[in-house]
Amino acid sequence: MSRLDNKVAFITGGSRGIGAAIALKLAEDGADIAITFTSAAGKAAEIVGAVERLGRRAIAIKVDNLDAAALEAAVNEAHHKLGRLDILVNSAGVYSMDTVDTLTLEEFDRVMFIHVRASFVAAKAAAALMGPGGRVISIGSNLGEIVPFPGLVAYATSKAALTGLTKALARDLGSREITANIVQPGSTDTDMNPANGDHADGQRARMAIPRFGQAKDIAGLVAFLAGEEGRFITGASLTIDGGANA
């Protein structure tokens, strides 16, 4: 048996980047997979197909993380179609780069809603369906701890808030043997932040290991937390950034 056999994972933003890598890794470890996507229907279908080729069940649900009712309904739909829910991964995210003098309230709210409010909505809905051994794992950022350059007011604030939400969830859910942790990637080679991008050299200069991480690196840490080995880890912030914050 694989370590996640008979488990079901729900991954927001699972059609691309880190979320897609997590979906595939958890499927490789035996889990059935539900992912959400906003606009990349073709990429979502590719992930569903890849999971099915691994011998696991998979569904993709179109959801805007700004729509709390739709996100809650998606969690319930995944539970209904796949029969249970054991692992929630809050991976959907956006990047915002404005300084305090240019950042609009609307953009601040958008980033906070997608990273924090939606994670709360999904965690509340998922926790109501989980039994002992459930996992809530959120994808934060090392920029929630250290802000090395201007223009990160909304992004860094939202990721720091996500850490607070995670610690509070760990306290609220611990008596039910449900863990809550946050994984904090640094520079990771994705469409959002490619390793050959305009700002990549500056990011590498901050790192003890001067190269971008791969999405599969983040997925491996998530899989560890989702498995039996992670059963006594909760309320933790695990940074995986090549030593950028060291």
85 domain residue, yes or no: yes
Tokens of 58: 């998979």
| 32 sits in which H/E element | strand 32-37
pLDDT of residue 1: 65
| Cα–Cα distance, 2 to 4 (Å, whole number) | 6
Note whether 91 and 12 are within 8 A (CB).
yes
Mean of the pLDDT values across residues 52-79? 98
Q: Does 155 participate in catalysis according to the annotation?
A: yes
Instruction: Write the pLDDT tens digit of every residue in 1-41.
Output: 689 999 999 999 999 999 999 999 999 999 999 999 999 99
Q: Residues 233, 234, 236, CA angle at the centre, nearest 5°? A: 95
Residue 143 DSSP code: G
Residue 167 DSSP code: H
State how many domains the chain has: 1
Instruction: Write the pLDDT tens digit of every residue in 101-121.
Output: 999 999 999 999 999 999 999
79 domain residue, yes or no: yes
110 domain residue, yes or no: yes
169 domain residue, yes or no: yes
- DSSP-based three-state secondary structure for 100: coil
Instruction: Write the pLDDT tens digit of every residue in 156-170.
Output: 999 999 999 999 999
pLDDT of residue 2: 81
Note whether 13 and 37 are within 8 A (CB).
yes
Phi, psi of 38 (to 5 degrees): -100, -50
Instruction: Write the pLDDT tens digit of every residue in 179-193.
Output: 999 999 999 999 889
Sequence letter at residue 39: S
Look up the CATH number of the domain holding residue 20: 3.40.50.720
Share of the chain above pLDDT 70, in %: 100
246 domain residue, yes or no: no
Among candidate residues 10, 37, 155, 212, the one labeled active-site is 155
**172-176 long-range contacts, CB within 8 A, separation 24+:** 173/127, 173/134, 173/136, 174/234, 174/235, 176/127, 176/130, 176/132, 176/134
Tokens of 114: 């997608």
Tokens of 190: 């994705």
pLDDT of residue 185: 98
pLDDT of residue 87: 98
208 domain residue, yes or no: yes
Place of tokens 């906070």: 112
Instruction: Write the pLDDT tens digit of every residue in 117-159.
Output: 999 999 999 999 999 999 999 999 999 999 999 999 999 999 9
1 domain residue, yes or no: no
pLDDT of residue 7: 98
pTM, two decimals, is: 0.97
The number of CA neighbours under 13 Å toward the Cβ of 68 is: 11
- Domain residues for the domain of 234 are 8-240
245 domain residue, yes or no: no
